[in-house]
Amino acid sequence: MPKTLEGQITMEKTPSYFVTREAPARISAMSRDTKLIVVVRDPVTRAISDYTQTLSKKPDIPSFESLTFKNRTTGLIDTSWSAIQIGIYAKHLDNWLHYFPMEQILFVSGERLISDPAGELGRVQDFLGLKRIITDKHFYFNQTKGFPCLKKAEGSSKPHCLGKTKGRTHPNINPEVVQRLRDFYRPFNMKFYQMTGRFFGWED
């Protein structure tokens, strides 16, 4: 990590940190004051999104349904499949809490980031001790993209949406499989709400 001067914030983004066993100890050894920000979304949608991304690179992979189950008849879920494993947020968080207090970790709601980007970024700015500079005025909803976009990209006067790899259409998944996954994640989600003190509203 580069040296950080007084008044500067150095940021680094690697999605896999949150689920990497060795990451908390290593980051804590580097700096115990590090603030951690994690974007989480409904683990079921997350798994489907993860699968969609893999499918875009390897169109020949088995169906979502067949990867989900160890045994389709008993409904036993394959928790070793990374798309499923990553969404067990309570388990991953537990690992981080051995090294960092909850006050140093901010969980951003992926759903709110889409429905209210300025509100969610307000929380991020507060957490980092920054003035709320990014507000509603910076975003507009792009109907074609189906997502919020920036009115002006940094250093430009033009609007900016995220690229084609963000916001892909997900394949239709058998509703029974989705329900089975909802049932699987429910207790882990409840535990996660308890640990974070925030209700993310992922059950229906």
Give Cα 192 to chain centroid, integer Å.
Answer: 13
Which of residues 130, 162, 179, 186 is near ligand PPS by CB under 6 A? Answer: 162
- Chain position whose Cβ is nearest to ligand PPS: 49
Tally of CB atoms within 10 A around 136: 12
Residues 137, 65 contacting (CB under 8 angstroms): no
Asked if 108 touches ligand PPS (CB under 6 A), the answer is no
Which of residues 69, 81, 127, 147 is near ligand PPS by CB under 6 A? Answer: 147
Q: Which stretch binds ligand PPS (CB under 6 A): 55-63, 80-88, 90-98, 159-167?
A: 159-167
Radius of gyration of the chain (CA): 19
Sequential DSSP letters for 7-63: T-------GGGGG-TTHHHHHHHH-TT--EEEEE--HHHHHHHHHHHHHHH-TTSPP
In angstroms, give the least distance from the CB of 196 to ligand PPS.
19
Q: Residue count at the site for ligand PPS (CB under 6 A)?
A: 12
Q: Return the residues of window 50-89 that contact ligand PPS according to CB under 6 A.
A: 52
Contact positions vs ligand PPS (CB under 6 A):
15, 49, 52, 113-114, 147-148, 162, 165-168
